[in-house]
Amino acid sequence: MKRIILSGGGTGGHIYPAVAVAEALKRKYGEDVELLFVGAEGKMEMEKVPALGYRIEGLPVAGLQRKFSFANFALPFKVAASIRRAKKIIRDFDADIVVGFGGYASAPVLWAAQRLGIPTIIQEQNSYAGLTNKLLSKRAKRICVSYDKMERFFPAERIVMTGNPLRGRFSAEGGNRSEALAYYGFNDTMPVVLVVGGSLGTRTLNEMMKAWILTLNGEAPVQVIWQTGKFYEREMQEFLAAHPTKNIWQGAFIDRMDYAYAAANVVLSRSGACTVSELCLVAKPTIFVPSPNVSEDHQTKNAMALVEKGAAEIVRDSEAVERGMREAVALAKDEERLARLAANIAKLAIADSADRVVSEIAAEMAKTTKD
């Protein structure tokens, strides 16, 4: 029986790659593998992971508050307690290997495993590695990455290009476009722009849509799928009701992302690691609006990694309300730019990322046979 700990969380960008790898491990080993997730108490993984049928343990770890907070004074004690707890979890579970996906809990779990002599693997989702992963990489057996030039942060001889593991099936072929257009009540005579801001939504992209709609005379020049996010749902519903505009579909969530991608000619989106990987797989011309409210400004760095290869375009968050939709509409009507962007972003797709990570896990476990 193989026993593997997967640690990560705090956001979907850390949780879902771990779940994708868990699913790939189950496909490879079936009943011959036991998996344990380790997350941070009170964070979303403690709810999401059990709902998907996996066991999870929580640590009392928390992140450093960027603004002054008395909570920061308790942080060293929480980290120390988390490392002690992580060591006990690893020993009790009798782990063969520990895989870290980032987030609050990942650091103490990998640190503890490395001190116990348990092999560790890091899966770095972003193009700019955080301080924690840079420190942990010194003792990690493998660092699985999704971008070129990561030797800036990690030992080159231990870097493996795997891409970001994704749940579900995304591909350039995608869903049936005729069905997708019908699903949103659209037709094939006008291009479609997909505006997507994540499950909670994005204030900038919603304000961008409001500003753009106010320049129209009740009819958009393109068809738009506008995902508002749950947090902004009521406010944006009330706005659109007060300013009814043809050719706009609005919803808090997108239940059928395969249809959304199939319908879209252009995507306007944030540039979190998983979103970038999805867009590479579906090969969609994209304008990124990176969030400025993330550590190390990693969304801008993710976007620029594609922009520098001619695989995407970028509009800064501070300019998006004024320029975002204007740029998207212009791109949607420029066949030459659309074709070039689609071709270039498709070159960056890695369809079997989860299986690649599993291959690295299997290779490391094969080197360490237990007594």
CB 120 within 8 A of CB 97: yes
Mean pLDDT to the nearest integer, 186-201? 91
Topology, domain 177-346 = Rossmann fold (3.40.50)
b/e map 69-87, b = 16+ CB within 10 Å = eeeeeeeeebbeebbebbb
Query: Do 2-166+352-367 and 177-346 come out as alike in CATH topology?
Result: yes
Euclidean distance between CA atoms 6 and 1, whole angstroms: 16
Strands (E), the chain: 2-7, 33-40, 56-59, 97-100, 120-123, 142-145, 159-161, 192-196, 219-227, 246-251, 266-269, 286-288, 313-314
β pairing state of 219-227 and 192-196: parallel
Q: What is the DSSP letter of 190?
A: S
Mean pLDDT to the nearest integer, 51-74? 68
The tens digit of pLDDT for each residue in 309-340 reads 999 999 999 999 999 999 999 999 999 999 99
pTM attached to this predicted model: 0.87
Write the CA distances from 50 to 16, 47, 96, 167, integer angstroms: 13, 6, 22, 16
Look at residue 242 in the predicted model and tell me its pLDDT: 97
Give the residue extent of every domain in the chain: 2-166+352-367, 177-346
| 192 token code pair | 């479609």
AA identity, residue 368 = T
Please give the CATH superfamily to which domain 2-166+352-367 belongs. Glycogen Phosphorylase B; (3.40.50.2000)
Look at residue 77 in the predicted model and tell me its pLDDT: 64
214 falls in which pLDDT band (50, 70, 90)?
very high
Look at residue 369 in the predicted model and tell me its pLDDT: 61
Name, in order, each residue with C-beta under 8 angstroms of 41's C-beta and a sequence gap of 6 or more: 58, 59, 60, 61
169 falls in which pLDDT band (50, 70, 90)?
low
- Residue with the bigger pLDDT between 81 and 62: it is 81
The tens digit of pLDDT for each residue in 91-109 reads 999 999 999 998 878 999 9
Mean residue pLDDT across the chain:
91
Largest CA distance in the chain: 74
Euclidean distance between CA atoms 10 and 204, whole angstroms: 22
Mean pLDDT to the nearest integer, 181-191? 97
The tens digit of pLDDT for each residue in 258-313 reads 999 999 999 999 999 999 999 999 999 999 999 998 878 999 999 999 999 999 99
CB 284 within 8 A of CB 195: no
DSSP alpha helices (H): ranges in 30-121?
A: 45-51, 75-93, 106-115
Task: Please check the confidence at residue 170 and state whether its pLDDT lies above 60.
Answer: yes
| 234 token code pair | 């009521």
